[in-house]
Structure 1
Amino acid sequence: MDDLFPPSNLLSRCIDIAPQARVKVESAPEIGGERILLEGGELLFSEHFFSDKVCKRMIEYLQESRNFQWKVVDWAQVPADQLKEVEFENVNWKQDYIKFFGKTHPLPRLTAWYGDKGASYAYSGIRSDPNPWNDGLLYLKARLEAALDVTFNSVLLNWYRDGSDSLNWHADDEPELGTCPTIASVSFGETRQFLFKPKNASKTQLSFDLLPGSLVVMKGETQQNWVHSVPKRKGVKGSRFNLTFRNIRVV
């Protein structure tokens, strides 16, 4: 095992690897970034896969509204009942709820699900039927498919309105995704940390600072052996939009 996972020099300043993590880092020219070989998984990472111009337009595109002052509003202060009245131009954002210890709680982020007809998805007791693709999502999808030589039929959008919105430790291992899915995660807006650890570990082993336009691709057996999270960060005041492109098994 020592020969398989020798020490490596990091190419990106946005990756932090814990001393106990056994990984190998290689160049990934297809995305202008790094390939990170894990014990039981594989990641690709690019700091700036999408240009600043694309990032700026996508941040606007994802929150444009016909009846709301979307350029100046503090979205974290908009209650769920008022959110339902917002006429978003491009994305049908929604507030989902989960049951925890017999009580219903709002999911600590807004979500939307888009994809091919029949590409429905269920996680944490929440079932989502796909909205039809729009031009902005198809543009991102085409860029990712060309670089990764993978076909995606769906995308989950997460809107972290500020540092109070988060994502708990989990793996994307739902049956609809298959055993070794390729999931491409792109980010726009505020920089947030993206953490990884083995399923049987107690401490984080990898941390990514996801800048606007960054890309993380989870491949191979990653979902079987690793979990990931986006922790709360009090100092983050603005929005981060995360889009994870997937291939759902359509029955």
Structure 2
Amino acid sequence: MQQDLFLNSQENLLPFQGEVRFYPHFFEDTQADELMRSFQESLAWRQEPIRIFGREIMQPRLTALYGEAGMPYGYSGIQMTPLPWTPELMAVKTKIEEFTQLRFTHVLCNYYRNGQDSMGWHRDNEQVLGQNPSIASVTFGAPRKFQLRHYTQKSIKRDVLLSHGSLLMMQGESQHFWEHQLPKSSKILGPRINLTFRKLIR
């Protein structure tokens, strides 16, 4: 099994077929603290049912969608209508866009209340995201292990510790050939908020 834990790297973390880069101090601690508190209190968090292997279960996390009007986003049987951008979300979006020189239309927000909240293996490959989507993932709160594995060669894995105020960029062919998850952890007690910015194609 090929597996590494990356704590601080701006190089491509994938050995082939895609690009994933990690920026651990994208936000300073003070700003990250303020944004974490703001997002906990101000975003319209909901727990949605999803359909997995033909059965409906409640997502083990809270979610919210913000973005451009008239462009819904769906996955796993969920159809979400975006809420208007908040000033804080727009500020984070602007900072990421200036850094990456990319444009994003929506942000899917995930609130992991403790280590028992999680997200299973999946790829962000919905048709509305286009051929080779760029996903910008920002973390606030408790650090969590983020896992990547090759879609067909599942023994090839990469682990990244997503820290408070960090940015993870997934680009190129990564959503074709790699899947990712945020596993449960009995050691994590604190909450984590994850903002995943993406561009939807009309």
TM-score range, shorter chain: over 0.9
Equivalent position of 1:39 in the other structure: 16
Q: Alpha-carbon deviation of 1:210?
A: 0.6
**Residue pair 1:34, 1:46 contacting (<8 A) in 2 also:** no
Give the 5 Å matches for 1:220-235: 220-235=172-187
Aligned length: 199
In the TM superposition, residue 99 of structure 1 has moved relative to its aligned partner by: 3.0
Partner residue, 2:199: 247
Residues 195 and 204 in structure 1, CA contact (< 8 A), matched pair in contact too: no
Work out whether residues 187 and 215 of structure 1, in 8 Å CA contact, stay in contact via their aligned partners in 2.
yes
Take 1:99 and 1:238, find their aligned partners in 2: how far apart are those partners? Answer: 27
2:33 aligned with 1:56? yes
For 2:7, the equivalent position in structure 1 comes to 14
The structure, 1 or 2, with the larger RCO (C-alpha pairs under 8 Å, 6+ apart) is 2
8 Å Cα contact 2:46-2:64 kept in structure 1: yes
| Alpha-carbon distance in 1 for matches of 2:62, 2:167 | 20
Task: State the SS of the aligned residue for 1:236.
Answer: coil
TM-score, length-scaled by structure 1: 0.75
Uncovered stretches (5+) of structure 1, i.e. residues with no partner: 1-9, 16-26, 28-32, 65-89
Hey, what does 2:109 align to over in structure 1? 157
RMSD: 1.8
Higher Rg of the two aligned structures: 1
User: Of 81, 91, 95, which residue of structure 2 is paired with 1:143?
Assistant: 95
Tell me the alpha carbon deviations over residues 44-78 of structure 1, each in whole angstroms, 9 at most, x when there is no partner.
111111110111001110122xxxxxxxxxxxxxx
Q: Tell me, in whole angstroms, the C-alpha distance in 2 between the residues paired with 1:166 and 1:241.
A: 12
Distance 1:168 1:233 in 2: 13
> Do structure 1's residue 189 and structure 2's residue 182 form an aligned pair?
no
The answer to whether the 8 A contact 2:71-2:81 is kept is: yes
* Aligned equivalent of 1:99, options 51, 66, 71: 51
- Looking at structure 2, the residues matched to 193 and 203 of structure 1 have their Cα atoms a distance apart, in angstroms, of 17
Q: 1:203 to 1:163 in 2, by over 3 A?
A: farther
Shift of residue 191, structure 1, vs aligned partner: 0.5
Q: Distance in 1 between matches of 2:163 and 2:54?
A: 37
Answer yes or no: is the 8 Å Cα contact 2:13–2:158 preserved in 1.
Answer: no
Indicate the SS of the match to 2:33.
helix
Percent identical among aligned pairs is 40
Q: 3-state SS of the aligned residue for 1:35?
A: coil
For 1:63, what is the secondary structure of its paired residue?
A: helix
* 1:156-177 Cα shifts (integer Å, max 9, x gaps): 0000100001110000000000
Scaled by the length of structure 2, the TM-score of the pair is: 0.93
**Cα deviation per residue 1:165-214 (whole Å; 9 max; x = unaligned)?**
11100000000000101110000000100000110123351100011011
